[in-house]
Amino acid sequence: MNAPLRRPEAAEPCIDSRFTVPGMRCAGCIGKVERGLAQVPGVAAARVNFSAKRVAVSHAPELTGEAIIAELRKLGFEAERAADNPLARDDAETRSLLRALAVAGFGMMNIMLLSVSVWSGADAPTRALFHWLSALIAVPVIAYAGRPFFASALMALRHRRTNMDVPISIGVVLATVLSLYETATNGPHAYFDGAVMLLFFLLAGRALDAMMRSRARSGIAALLGRMGRGAQIVQPDGATRYVEAERIVPGMVMLVAAGEALAADGTVLEGRTLVDAAMLTGESAPRPVVAGDLVHAGMVNLGNPVRLTVVAAARDTALADIARLMDEAGQSRSRYVRIADRAARLYAPAVHSLAFLSFCGWLLAGAGLHQALLIAVAVLIITCPCALGLAVPAAQVVAAGALMKRGLLIKDGSALERLAEVDEVIFDKTGTLTLGEPRPVDLSGLGEEARRIALALAQESRHPLSRGLARALREEGVEPAVLDGVEETAGQGMSARFQGRPVALLRPESEVAGLAADLVIAGKAARIAFADPLRPDVQAALAALSGQGLACSIASGDRPESVAAVARELHLFAAAGMHPAGKLALLERRKASDHRPLMVGDGLNDGPALAGAHVSIAPGSASDVSQQAADAVFVGERLMPVALAVRVARRTMAIVRQNFTMAVLYNMLAVPLAIGGFVTPLVAALAMSASSLLVVGNSLRLARSAGKEGA
Amino acid sequence: MNIVGVLIPLALAMGLAGLGTFFWAMRSGQFEDLDGAAQRILIEEDSDGEGAP
């Protein structure tokens, strides 16, 4: 049953394509997509990856991606081409960490098995044999599982810096070498178990961290892909062909359907339409364009299908300038030092001098070189930041998991740390404080029957107005009417018959201000006006943010009049008419005056600001570029996840600090024992696992408190 | 004491077998779609027998 559905007759070489299908929510959807696609001629196999909301289709080369997307739409699912997997590198890192963790786990269990009998008093020949066996297991295991730490420690030392991995590597290597010496000289104490256990706990922390990142990123990747990745290019013979954005060159003629985003800059060749530049400039009102007008990549065509002559593509578009700004803005972010590394800067020198001092002290006190070295290694092992290595990732993974359930995807732990430090929030307007989609302003003029007809017509179309109308009606609990012969005329609207009478949802015949549609039932027209409304809980979310001591303001690219209206309603300071570079400069000024701004924005014009802010969040409806630049993405129509994110991030850092305190307390207790020479491998193993369990247990409290707090 | 000569290699062999299985499972993509695997048990078998055992 779990095998992909295969058709034996499709034996010719197949090509594989991947599509994101965000609408899959249940087992029924998996079955419907896989079975439905398998029945399409030319499809050899279809396999759904439910976690990634993706379907991999193996099909004959004749079958185009558009045809498969059309088939998926017939099955009732919106689909998009998935980009080439940009997350493969992350995946590989997680995998190698998991493999190292498995090897360390294997080694730890087997060595522990031998160590227990040594601890319980095996006689000398057995002890020697068991130590040799332990060494045989431990050396290859440490060589394999320790690589992530050794590599990172070497890198840090090469740059004359120190991080958490330096004391870890020194501790593990010294312990192994000394234990080998002990084994060879038939000594009583070997620390193989301690060294391998240390690696196991630390790898568990790293693997958790990596898994959190890749889970959030695959969640975000499932949202991506709605912006113009390519376009239908008109061939000399009049047929159209899909061409990827990178392959489009100036001079081509591009056909852009209603609701599609432009993949390149161009001038309108024929037709007149409305374009929505909200993503590019933040302007909320759509702009009419006619033949000869210049339009830019990233704008969305709201009106009729139009033909454009491409004037600039790929790297020369207005979009690419924004991308360059973003690259520069992102530089400052990489200079941020994470809390674990800040702790290591204090911790590593302290630990090393402590071990060195006890070595010298015992030498001076008259102990032999061997015994002094043994005690120094015991100090290193006992102070090795085992609990410290777990203190940060354990808390952050729990917090990220709780936030993910509430609709906020955090990309990595450093984002949580920076989020806890913010002291002000700067919002974009269009698409961030507002929904960024046209919704009907007032539906009270429509009767019960008219609403059902409107929903039935609207749900058959992909036009942005139809989608907004269908969504608003569905939210009111309207059931669609049963219609006959539904037809869509591009640029005109939808028409059908309801109980023998003609009904239609049409674009207004006369020019009107703003967006509107006419619902025509048996010749009688009712006008439905559309606007971009504020998110439903915007007031509550802003109140929650200022309750946490954060100053909120608006930085928008829209015209001053429309920004002022929103700012008045929400009682916020606002700056209007800002260019991408202007927003970035505003953030740089705030950062220079020692503020830590959180930027929340969705448009391409917010990209540089998102990359340059101390930390940034984008809504799930944002452009791909913005979602990639932001540190976190929230899904759904509510703004509350932003306030929740700050609260949970602060709580997480409080727990992390508690964990650090616990680790320090533990060291204050254990280090004197080690310096006194009372620490045997048994004591080290017990202390290590006890402190790790304590830290993990404390972090788990976060799941309960983050889950309980009301949104 | 001779029993140790059997038990220790046995313990190691079992541990290695477990490790090998985990490596195999990762390579063959068993952990690719954890949510999907949970959902798939709810899919009804095809009535036309396609894909059925």
* Percent with pLDDT over 70 in chain A: 91
Among A1, A113, A137, select the one facing B45 at the smallest CB separation: A1
| Number of residues assigned to chain A | 711
Per residue in A606-622, pLDDT tens?
Answer: 888 888 888 999 888 77
C-beta atoms of B37 and A2 within 8 A: yes
Among A5, A27, A133, select the one facing B50 at the smallest CB separation: A5
pLDDT score at B45 = 64
- Is some CB atom of chain B closer than 8 A to the CB atom of A56? no
Among B23, B51, B52, select the one facing A99 at the smallest CB separation: B23
pLDDT score at B18 = 92
- Tell which A residues from 170 to 189 touch B, by Cβ distance under 8 Å: none
Per residue in A555-582, pLDDT tens?
Answer: 888 888 888 888 888 888 888 888 888 8
- What is A508-522 written as a DSSP string? -SS--SSEEEEEEET
C-beta atoms of A50 and B33 within 8 A: yes
The Cα A187–Cα A136 span in angstroms is: 17
Burial category of A277 from C-beta neighbours within 10 Å (exposed 0-12, middle 13-18, buried 19 and up): buried
Interface of B to A at Cβ within 8 Å reads 1, 8, 11-12, 15-16, 18-19, 22-23, 26, 32-37, 39-46, 50-53
C-beta atoms of B39 and A99 within 8 A: no
C-beta atoms of B32 and A51 within 8 A: yes
pLDDT over 60 at B19, yes or no:
yes
- Give the single-character DSSP code of A262: P
pLDDT score at B51 = 43
Which residues touch A681 (CB under 8 Å, ≥6 apart)?
Answer: A115, A119, A189, A190, A191, A193, A194
Residue to test with chain B: of A6, A106, A203, most B Cβ within 10 A = A106
Encoded tokens for A285: 């009102």
The Cα A482–Cα A462 span in angstroms is: 19
Q: Which of A123-127, A217-221, B19-23 has the lowest mean pLDDT?
A: A217-221
Of A140-149, A409-418, A473-482, where does the model show the most confidence? Answer: A140-149
Q: Are A33 and A78 in contact (CB under 8 A)?
A: no
Instruction: Give the pairing type, strands A615-619 and A597-600.
Output: parallel
3-state DSSP assignment of residue B32? coil
Question: In chain A, whose CA is at the least distance from the CA of B12?
Answer: A110
What does the pLDDT average to over A458-467? 77
Per residue in A240-296, pLDDT tens?
Answer: 777 777 778 888 888 887 777 787 888 888 777 778 777 777 776 777 888 888 888
A428 is catalytic: yes
3-state DSSP assignment of residue B5? helix
Q: Are A387 and A695 in contact (CB under 8 A)?
A: yes
Res. A7 pLDDT band, cuts 50 70 90: very low
Amino acid at residue number A127: R
Q: Higher confidence at residue A149 or residue A509?
A: A149
The Cα A17–Cα A242 span in angstroms is: 14
pLDDT over 60 at A697, yes or no:
yes
* Percent with pLDDT over 90 in chain A: 11
Question: In chain B, whose CA is at the least distance from the CA of A102?
Answer: B19
What does the pLDDT average to over A640-667? 88
pLDDT over 60 at A8, yes or no:
no
Which value does ipTM take for this structure?
0.81
Q: Are A600 and A616 in contact (CB under 8 A)?
A: yes
What does the pLDDT average to over A579-597? 87
C-beta atoms of A126 and B1 within 8 A: yes
Other beta carbons less than 10 A from residue A551's beta carbon:
14
pLDDT over 70 at A550, yes or no:
yes
Q: Which of A103-112, A330-339, A479-488, A577-586 has the lowest mean pLDDT?
A: A330-339
Among A27, A50, A102, select the one facing B19 at the smallest CB separation: A102
Per residue in A404-447, pLDDT tens?
Answer: 888 888 888 888 899 999 999 999 888 888 887 788 887 777 88
- Is some CB atom of chain B closer than 8 A to the CB atom of A98? yes
Res. A460 pLDDT band, cuts 50 70 90: confident
Per residue in A180-203, pLDDT tens?
Answer: 998 998 888 888 988 898 899 889
User: How far is residue A471 from each of residues A18, A406, A432, A479, measured CA to CA in Å?
Assistant: 28, 22, 18, 12
Measured between its terminal Cα atoms, the distance across chain A in Å is 40
pLDDT score at A137 = 93
What does the pLDDT average to over A696-708? 78
Q: Are A377 and A175 in contact (CB under 8 A)?
A: yes
CB burial of A14-53 (b: ≥16 within 10 Å; e: otherwise) equals: beebbbbbbebeebebbbbbbbbbbebebbbbbbbbbbbb
Chain A residues near residue B19 by CB distance under 8 angstroms: 102-103, 106
The Cα A491–Cα A255 span in angstroms is: 13
Q: Higher confidence at residue A255 or residue A229?
A: A255
Encoded tokens for A423: 């002291």
What does the pLDDT average to over A307-326? 75
Of A168, A501, A143, the closest CA to residue A347 belongs to A168
Res. A103 pLDDT band, cuts 50 70 90: very high
The Cα A231–Cα A264 span in angstroms is: 8
pLDDT over 90 at A84, yes or no:
no
- Give the single-character DSSP code of A408: E
Encoded tokens for A294: 């210049």
pLDDT over 50 at A50, yes or no:
yes
pLDDT over 60 at A63, yes or no:
yes
Among B22, B36, B46, select the one facing A50 at the smallest CB separation: B36
pLDDT score at A331 = 66
State the count of interchain CB pairs (< 8 A) between A and B: 66
Residue with tokens 């070595």: A359
pLDDT over 80 at A161, yes or no:
no
- In SS3 terms, A107-168 reads as HHHHHHHHHHHHHCCCCHHHHHHHHHHHHHHHHHHHHHHCHHHHHHHHHHHHCCCCCCHHHH
Chain A residues near residue B43 by CB distance under 8 angstroms: 1, 27-28, 30-31
Mean of the per-residue pLDDT values for chain A? 82
- Give the single-character DSSP code of A82: P
Please give the model's pTM, rounded to 2 decimal places.
0.76
Q: How far is A32 from chain B (nearest CA, A)?
A: 9
The Cα A155–Cα A73 span in angstroms is: 50
- Tell which A residues from 130 to 169 touch B, by Cβ distance under 8 Å: 133, 137
Residue to test with chain B: of A50, A53, A111, most B Cβ within 10 A = A50
Residue with tokens 């193993």: A685
The Cα A385–Cα A406 span in angstroms is: 32
pLDDT score at A688 = 80
Q: Are A599 and A642 in contact (CB under 8 A)?
A: no
- Is some CB atom of chain B closer than 8 A to the CB atom of A125? no
Q: Are A153 and A163 in contact (CB under 8 A)?
A: yes
The Cα A19–Cα A10 span in angstroms is: 21
Sheet holding A632-634, edge to edge: A408-410, A632-634, A615-619, A597-600, A424-427, A551-555, A573-575
The Cα A256–Cα B30 span in angstroms is: 41
Other beta carbons less than 10 A from residue A80's beta carbon:
17
pLDDT score at A512 = 62
Catalytic residue among A193, A209, A265, A428: A428
pLDDT score at A315 = 67
Q: Higher confidence at residue A658 or residue A444?
A: A658
Res. A136 pLDDT band, cuts 50 70 90: very high
Of A617, A606, A620, the closest CA to residue A280 belongs to A606
Domains, chain A? 1-82 (3.30.70.100), 89-218+340-395+650-708 (no CATH), 229-262+264-312 (2.70.150.10), 408-435+535-635 (3.40.50.1000), 439-531 (3.40.1110.10)
Half-sphere exposure of A653 (CA within 13 A, CB side): 17
Residue with tokens 């969040």: A617
Alpha carbon dihedral A387, A388, A393, A399, in 10-degree steps, equals: 80
pLDDT over 80 at A228, yes or no:
no
pLDDT over 90 at A139, yes or no:
yes
Sheet holding A265-270, edge to edge: A240-244, A230-234, A253-256, A306-312, A265-270, A294-295
Q: Are A304 and A272 in contact (CB under 8 A)?
A: yes
C-beta atoms of A35 and B46 within 8 A: yes
User: How far is residue A356 from each of residues A165, A175, A360, A362, A378, measured CA to CA in Å?
Assistant: 18, 14, 6, 10, 12
